[in-house]
């Protein structure tokens, strides 16, 4: 193991810090260049870039984990490669070959090994790939060139307190349209969420819940994480809709809930008017990991699930199983873990 950076690993939040290297590759004249590691964290691009005006950009988020014996591993990076290409297709950008994507991530993690937090601190290395339209352009149309960059930062828990229940409030606004770009990880969805997030925080909640944009009756997202609930008869339920971001964590939990915990599982509607069907609920995602939902505020009433202070038994088991696999303490299903 190489020398670690001088960082207070136990007190990391989810904040940007500059690390030593980032990867950058350019698409021009119909093809990607080799790509290289650079030390600069600034981009120099045309003021007329489509990413700046028309939101022609998408991104990803994944993590590298330090195992007990000091090794480093990635969790399902090929799923992130597939998802960034869905965003690229949706916004008319060139796809990134999956091997190029994973190779870029591996190069960045290896070059920044000193920033991969030690095992046991709960901290991880968050990796942020992004694909943006650049070059001279002013009409609404795709960019002449594209940049694919990958950088990384060491992070602690996304929600302060880690595995403790958080309360959420239902937003009156939508983050995406019914058949818009909700299923793609594009910046526009997040720009549309900032105001709702601000209101939720101002009112003392961790973030907000988005309902389906067509009928406003079904839960879609929990801030920048997917929703799951455990029904009174032990079914793991998570919503399905064309405007939800297909969370890699969520699909991993669907598998683990069934195979490891022996729960029934279903991707189906979770009605905001029928929260009492769930004895436990949570938010899941790369950054959120599993954040237990204490309660949901809707139409002036707070509906509490298991407890506002204690974590439910199924949520705890799911968390231990998922983190056990990610940190290399439990055996992973075939192909889920890539050694760095």
Ligand X SMILES: Cc1ncc(COP(=O)(O)O)c(C=O)c1O
Cite the active site residues. 185
* 105 vs 321: CA distance, rounded Å: 25
Q: Residue 224, interface with ligand X (CB under 6 A)?
A: yes
Of 137 and 169, CB closest to ligand X: 169
Interaction between residue 226 and ligand X (CB under 6 A): yes
258, 197, 265, 198: which is closest to 228 by C-alpha? Answer: 265
In angstroms, the CA 65 to CA 58 distance is 24
**Binding segment toward ligand X, per CB under 6 A, in 86-94, 134-142, 161-169, 224-232:** 224-232
Nearer to ligand X by Cβ, of 104 and 283: the residue is: 283
| Close Cβ partners of 99 (under 8 Å, ≥ 6 residues apart) | none
Q: Which of 248, 254, 322, 337 binds ligand X (CB under 6 A)?
A: 248
Does position 243 interact with ligand X (CB under 6 A)? The reply is no
Q: Which of 196, 221, 295, 318 binds ligand X (CB under 6 A)?
A: 221
Is 238 a residue that touches ligand X (CB under 6 A)?
A: no
β-strands 264-267, 145-155 pairing: unpaired
164, 311 in Cβ contact below 8 A?
A: yes
Among positions 64-83, residues that touch ligand X (CB under 6 A) are none
Instruction: Please give the distance of CA 20 from its chain centroid, rounded to a whole number.
Output: 23
Decide if residue 337 touches ligand X (CB under 6 A). no
Residues 252-291, mask of contacts with ligand X (x by CB under 6 A):
---------------------------------xx-----
Size of the site for ligand X (CB under 6 A): 12
How many angstroms separate the CA atoms of 18 and 40, rounded?
Answer: 9
Of 99-107, 119-127, 134-142, 221-229: span binding ligand X (CB under 6 A)? 221-229
**Touching ligand X, residues 81-110 (CB under 6 A):** none
Stretch that binds ligand X, among 14-22, 121-129, 222-230, 327-335 (CB under 6 A): 222-230
- DSSP 8-state assignment for residue 273: G
Q: Which of 241, 204, 206, 246 is nearest to 223 (CA)?
A: 206
Strands (E), 160-288: 166-170, 207-211, 219-222, 226-231, 235-238, 264-267, 278-285
Say how many C-beta atoms besides its own lie within 10 A of residue 334's C-beta. Answer: 6
Question: Should residue 245 be labelled a site residue for ligand X when binding is judged by CB under 6 A?
Answer: yes
Question: Using CB under 6 A as the criterion, which residues of the chain lie in contact with ligand X when the complex forms?
Answer: 61, 221, 224-226, 245, 247-250, 285-286
């Amino acid at each position: 193991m190489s020398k670690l950076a001088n960082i207070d690993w136990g007190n990391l939040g989810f904040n940007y810090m500059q690390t030593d290297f980032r990867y950058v590759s350019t698409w021009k004249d119909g093809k990607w260049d080799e790509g290289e590691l650079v030390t600069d964290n600034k981009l120099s691009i045309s003021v007329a870039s489509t990413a700046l005006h028309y939101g022609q950009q998408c991104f990803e988020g994944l993590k590298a984990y330090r195992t007990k014996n000091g090794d480093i591993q990635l969790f399902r990076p090929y799923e992130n490669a597939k998802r960034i290409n869905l965003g690229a297709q949706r916004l008319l950008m060139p796809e990134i070959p999956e091997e190029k994507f994973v190779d870029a991530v591996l190069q960045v993690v290896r070059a920044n090994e000193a920033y991969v937090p030690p095992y046991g601190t709960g901290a991880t290395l968050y990796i942020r790939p992004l694909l943006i339209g650049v070059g001279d352009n002013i009409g609404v149309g795709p960019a002449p060139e594209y940049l694919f960059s990958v950088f990384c930062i060491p992070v602690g828990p996304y929600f302060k307190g880690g595995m403790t229940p958080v309360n959420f409030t239902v937003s009156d606004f939508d983050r995406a349209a019914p058949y818009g770009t909700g299923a793609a990880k594009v910046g526009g969805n997040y720009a549309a969420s900032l105001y709702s997030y601000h209101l939720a925080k101002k009112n003392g909640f961790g973030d907000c819940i988005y309902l389906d944009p067509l009928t406003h009756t079904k839960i879609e997202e929990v801030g920048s994480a997917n929703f799951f609930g455990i029904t009174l008869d032990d079914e793991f339920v998570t919503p399905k809709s064309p405007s939800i971001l297909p969370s890699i964590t969520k699909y991993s939990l669907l598998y683990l809930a069934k195979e490891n915990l022996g729960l029934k599982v279903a991707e189906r509607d979770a009605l905001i008017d029928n929260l009492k069907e769930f004895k436990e609920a949570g938010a899941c995602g790369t950054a959120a990991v599993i954040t237990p939902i204490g309660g949901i505020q809707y139409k002036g009433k707070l509906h509490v699930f298991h407890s506002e202070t204690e974590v439910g038994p199924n949520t705890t088991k799911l968390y231990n199983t998922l983190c056990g696999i990610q940190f290399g303490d439990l055996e992973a299903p075939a192909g889920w873990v890539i050694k760095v």
